[in-house]
Amino acid sequence: MTKFIVNGSSHQADGDPEMPLLWYLRDLAGLTGTKYGCGLGLCGTCTVLVDGRPARACLLAVGELEGRAITTIEGLSADGMHPVQEAWRQLNVAQCGYCQTGQIMQAAALLAKTPDPSDTEIDAAMSGNLCRCGTYPRIRAAIRQAAKGGAK
Amino acid sequence: MNAPIVNTGLMNEIANLSLSRRGFLRGLAAGSFVLATGIRPARAQETKYGAEAMSGGLKDDPRIFLAIADDGTVSLLCHRAEMGQGVRTSWAMVVADELEAELDRVRVLQAPGDEARFGNQNTDGSRSMRHHFQALRRIGAAARQMLEQEAAGRWKVPVAEVRAERHEVVHAASGRRIGFGELARAAALRPVPAADALVFKRPADFRYIGRDGVALVDNLDITTGKAVYGIDARIEGMAYAVIARPPVYGGKVKRFDATRALQVPGVVKVVPIEETPIPSAFQPLGGVAVIADNTYAAIKGRAQLDIEWDDGPNAGYDSAAYRAALEAASRQPGKVVRSNGDVDTALAGAARRVEASYYVPHLAQAPMEPPTATARVTAELCEVWCSVQNPEAIRADLSKRFGLPLENVIVNTLLLGGGFGRKSKPDFASEAAILSRALDGRPVKLTFTREDDLHNGYLHTVSVARLEAGLDAEGRPQAWLHRTVAPTIQSIFVPDAQQAGAFELAMGAVDMPLAIPNVRIENPPAPAHTRIGWFRSVSNIPHAFAIQSFVAELAAAAGRDPKDYLLQLLGPDRVIDPASVSDQWLYGEDPKRYAYDTARLRGVIERVAAEAGWGRSLPQGHGLGIAAHRSFVSYAAVVVEAAVDDEGRLTIPRVDIAFDCGAVINPDRVRAQLEGAVIQGISLATVGEISFKAGRVVQSNFHDYPVTRIDGAPKQIHTHLVTPTGFDAPLGGVGEPGLPPVAPALCNAIFAATGKRIRSLPIRDQLA
């Protein structure tokens, strides 16, 4: 059995310790904001924060999460008012929106570490997150906008 | 029967709505359901076009689609699927405008599949706004007039003295005003105004239509993880399944042993699924399903299945060999699908002949949300929750499969995490339903893993185009011979179909608009060895790639500027009678309204050239390329700036796209679709390829089926919308037409930058 924190609440996983956090969140905890895209850490759609750092939930076995603090999109902010979420809405970044929860988590992690990233830093940090609709130009713009807002 | 446990109130509402069939009518119709009276049946002998020709037709009765609650909240039932094109937002804009409602007091609900009730729901072909804009205006205007009549009646003043204004009806003379919510119940009982009695707003008074910067109705849900996609359905007591499907199309399970799979903790049951013989249409491929308590256990259990396959007739499908076969076919005469003048004589007499062959491989749509469906099927009732582009198609299938009346089959469309054509094919919903039935009605969620999505898809066709032109002494083509060879989408429905359908030929091949006196287009046969399906822009992709690359090649041969040469070949402005080019489809639209207008193609070419600074001086290793194409009755032109360094690394500093789709209803979403089309076009041009060996797809996930990432996206994309002349002109499609010119514009830019001509996609390492 493994105990960890998800969005501030205690969780314990007592099933298969090899189960990826992704399926624990989606199927067992009912937190479906974290999406499946590839299962191999190739697309970033399932990005969550583990102790504040971005990670792919499809690659994290629940058995290895003892004592960790997980933040999912549902816990990024109480009311959806994180600067990244606001910027995403102001610029209408989403098309289908499916990958955007992972994009937002990755962008939030980037800005936490690098409050005013260059375009090159944005592309480098976000290159693990696929979007099939092609929202990349607006993702770049929204990150720049969130960075600007955060600096005020 | 348990009520569904669903993630959000919205989902509950959809479920209740589906079950009660009357829930939506609270408010406007006060519980009494009266059939629409406002539909004008087309005269019998009249050929139908557009929405009227689609299954289910077009409905515009406000009582079907609108409800206004006592607090004034307007609910709009959207019956087309949302897959990122923004239909839920754009439709709300139109209805809110004509209703004179405040957009932030409009809620958009998603309709279940029911074409008899809602009209056509097949979200495909870039039709949702094109076919529905005027109907949505009628819906909004009719409801507004019912509210105005109710207010006038209460105040005992002529209806001409009142008007709706921002969610209220106002009587200016007396200063009285009353909210929509207070009027709604009684207004709903008033007769729906006849179509010819409707008064529409003047475009100058539009508050949302044509305005930029309208926020997406699903923005908050999407950015907080509350948006419910097909894969997110949660039904009480549900099990989770994955399926091991035949790796070769038409293959079968010879024998299987589930012993070890059943030992995996959490695995509940292993269920064989009967194969559908070729052509399998939208039916399941068959195979062996593993059902478990969670998705991971199902995946783990599936890995333990021991299956021996009988690969069947397509076991030899090999992409390298098949390409050679397509190229051989393209060197032989094929079925003539368009002929003007005398190509052979003109070719024989040409001052110079130029020929080239182009190749586009199979592509997978690979929407970020793979195909997924949840079903609960008892002896009496079949319910499905899924992300499908065409809910009515699966409803009819399931009704037949389970012998249930249509009304006992409920298909709830959730948000689509991308579609791109894959989710027009609802095989996955049938699979989920079969599995739920096998568990005696326990709900089952069936998920395609990414590997399943690539291995068992409905792929974009694979194609060779061979073009030959005869140029006169001035370098102008006098003859044009185009052979297009590609397995047809019809092969999933018709045994051994080998010729292109009229709809495939009319996607850029026969409707080639260049003013060349002698033109012949041929279609040699091509057998299909896998499931071929729609992929955003469909046959326009290979046709535009070949034709727009070839025009640039001819320009180079003639020593001319590619843009000037393209405009010269386009010839004088004219409207092309589709019959004159053997276009038997025209996207299902009325030739009187939608015939090819070459002035509009010229317009976008000139616009994009001006905006992109065509002819500007560029750094070493940079080049500009141009391409233009009409598809889905809209006109698009693209200029790409490509940069290739000494190591052959390609970057794309800038893309400009000019677009004419008629009136622009939601500029922000049109721009978003164009931005996405540019990136998807670059993705397929640079890295996209699905290939086969021994009948099996070689690629398995995003490591070997790459799609463009943010660092491969253009540094800048500039979208240029051609200014509309008004809102009464016919609308064009938006979701697809931006894509076809992207790949040829890119390859033309690479040629300008390097002198290297790319004729085979993807580009990948051809520049190294």
My answer on whether B395 and B544 are in the same domain is no
> Domain residues for B562?
319-364+458-754
Produce one character per residue of B199-231: b if its CB has 16 or more CB atoms within 10 Å, e if not.
Answer: ebbeeeebbbbbeeebebbbbebbbbbbbbbbb
CA distance B319 to A85: 44
Domain for residue B124, yes or no?
Answer: yes
Say yes or no for a CB contact (<8 Å) between B84 and A140.
Answer: no
Please list every residue in chain B whose beta carbon sits closer than 8 Å to the beta carbon of residue A28.
Answer: 294
Tens digit of pLDDT for each residue in A68-98?
A: 999 999 999 999 999 999 999 999 999 999 9
| CATH at B709 | 3.30.365.10
Three-state DSSP string of B631-675 = ECCEEEEEEEEEEECCCCCEEEEEEEEEEECCCCCCHHHHHHHHH
For chain B, positions 4-43, list CB contacts with chain A under 8 A. 7
Tell me if B702 and A130 make a contact (CB, 8 A cut-off): yes
Q: What is the pTM of this model?
A: 0.95
Chain B residues 551-610 within an 8 A CB cutoff of chain A: none
Residue B761: inside a domain, yes or no? no
pLDDT of res. B258: 98
Q: How far is B135 from chain A (nearest CA, A)?
A: 24
Q: Does B143 touch chain A (CB under 8 A)?
A: no
Are residue B443 and residue B499 in the same domain, yes or no?
Answer: no
Q: How far apart are CA B211 and CA B90, in angstroms?
A: 11
Query: Can you tell me the ipTM of this complex?
Result: 0.98
**Are B356 and B399 in the same domain?**
no
Contact (CB<8Å) B702/A40: yes
Average pLDDT, chain A: 97
Mutual angle of helices B391-402 and B427-438, in 10-degree steps: 40
Judge: B713–A134 Cβ closer than 8 Å, yes or no: yes
Whether residue B606 lies inside any domain: the answer is yes
Query: Do residues B524 and B485 make contact, with C-beta atoms less than 8 angstroms apart?
Result: yes
Q: Are residues B168 and B256 in the same domain?
A: no
The token pair at B601 is: 């193609």
C-alpha B155/C-alpha A18 separation (Å) is: 70
Chain A residue numbers touching B702 (CB-CB < 8 A):
38, 40, 42-43, 130
Query: So where are chain A's domains?
Result: 2-75, 83-151
Q: Is residue B763 part of a domain?
A: no
Q: Are residues B115 and B241 in the same domain?
A: no
Of B676, B708, B716, the CB nearest to A95: B676
Residue B709 to residue A130, Cβ atoms within 8 A: yes
Contacts A72 to B, Cβ<8 Å: 225
Question: Which residue in B has a C-alpha nearest to residue A28's C-alpha?
Answer: B294
Are residues B88 and B13 part of one domain? Answer: yes
Residue linked to tokens 């310790």: A17
- Distance from C-alpha of B369 to C-alpha of A148, rounded to nearest angstrom: 32
Per-state percent for chain A, helix, strand, coil, to nearest 5: 40, 15, 45
Cβ of A134 and B708 within 8 Å?
A: yes
CB contact under 8 A, B710 and A40: no
Alpha-carbon gap, residue B561 to B626, rounded angstroms: 10
Helices and strands, number each (H, E), in chain A: 5, 5
Report the residue of A19, A48, A133 to disrupt the B interface, i.e. the one with the largest count of B CBs within 10 Å.
A133
From chain B, the residues in CB contact with A85 under 8 A are 223-224
Q: A interface mutation test: which of B710, B718, B736 has the most A CBs within 10 A?
A: B710
How far CA B125 is from CA of B425, B584, B589, in Å, comes to: 14, 16, 12
Contact B370 A124 (CB under 8 A): no
Q: How many H helices and E strands in chain B?
A: 21, 28
pLDDT at B724: 67
10 Å CB burial of residue B473 (0-12, 13-18, 19+) is exposed
The answer, for B421 touching chain A at a CB cutoff of 8 Å, is no
> Are residues B326 and B308 part of one domain?
no
Count of CB atoms situated within 10 Å of the CB of B252: 16
Strand partners, B467: B356, B482
**Is B197 at the interface with chain A, CB within 8 A?**
no
Q: How confident is chain B (768 residues) per 10-residue block, as mean pLDDT? A: 34 36 34 32 68 92 96 97 97 98 97 95 94 96 98 98 98 98 97 96 96 96 98 98 98 98 98 98 98 98 98 98 98 98 98 98 98 98 96 94 97 97 97 98 98 98 98 98 98 97 98 98 98 98 99 98 98 98 97 97 98 98 98 98 97 98 96 98 98 98 98 98 81 97 99 98 97
Q: Give the residue from chain A lying closest to B716, CA to CA.
A: A137
- Cis-peptide, bond into residue B542, ω within 30° of zero: no
Interface check B225 vs A, CB under 8 A: yes
Q: Which residue of chain B is at minimal alpha-carbon distance from A37?
A: B368
Please give, rounded to a whole number of angstroms, the shortest distance from the CA of A152 to a CA of chain B: 22
Q: Do B672 and A135 make contact, defined as CB atoms within 8 angstroms?
A: yes
Contact B223/A at CB under 8 A: yes
* Domain match, B525 and B651 both: yes
Question: Is the Cβ pair A133, B84 closer than 8 Å?
Answer: yes
CATH class name, domain A83-151: mainly alpha
Q: What is the DSSP string of A93-126?
A: --SS-TTHHHHHHHHHHHHHH-SS--HHHHHHHH
Chain B residues within 8 A of A74 when measuring between CB atoms: 224-226
Contact B376, B239 (CB under 8 A): no
Hey, are the CB atoms on A136 and B713 less than 8 Å from each other? yes
Enumerate the residues of chain A whose CB falls inside 8 A of the CB of residue B668: 92
In this prediction, residue B447 carries a pLDDT of 98
Q: Do A96 and B369 touch (CB under 8 A)?
A: yes
Residue B613 and residue B730 share a domain: yes
Q: Do the Cβ atoms of B265 and A15 come within 8 Å?
A: yes
**Extended beta strands in B294-432, E state:** 306-310, 335-340, 352-360, 372-377, 382-386, 409-413
Same domain, B67 and B214: yes
Pick the residue of B83, B212, B223, B686 with the most A CBs within 10 A to test the interface with A by mutation: B223
B215: closest chain A residue by CA: A92
Judging contacts by C-beta atoms under 8 Å, the chain A residues touching residue B215 are 89, 92
Question: B704 in contact with A at a CB cutoff of 8 Å?
Answer: no
Domain end, chosen from B190, B218, B246, is at B218
So what's the pLDDT on residue B728? 76
Through-space distance between the first and last CA atoms of chain B, rounded to whole angstroms: 63
Q: What is the CATH number of domain A2-75?
A: 3.10.20.30
Tell whether B599 and B613 lie within a shared domain.
yes
Where a domain ends, among B218, B247, B267? B218
Domain boundary among B218, B246, B268: B218
Chain position carrying tokens 């409920």: B410
Torsion of CA B85, B86, B88, B91, to 10 degrees: -100
Residues B531 and B621 in one domain: yes
| Residue B453 maps to a domain | no
The total number of structural domains that make up chain B? 3
Of all residues in chain A, what percent carry a pLDDT higher than 90? Answer: 97
Among A19, A74, A131, whose Cβ lies nearest the Cβ of B225? A74
Tokens 């290793």 appear where?
B621
Q: How many CB atoms lie within 10 A of CB B327?
A: 14
Domain presence at residue B225: no
| Residue of chain B minimizing CA distance to A32 | B232
Contact A35 B366 (CB under 8 A): no
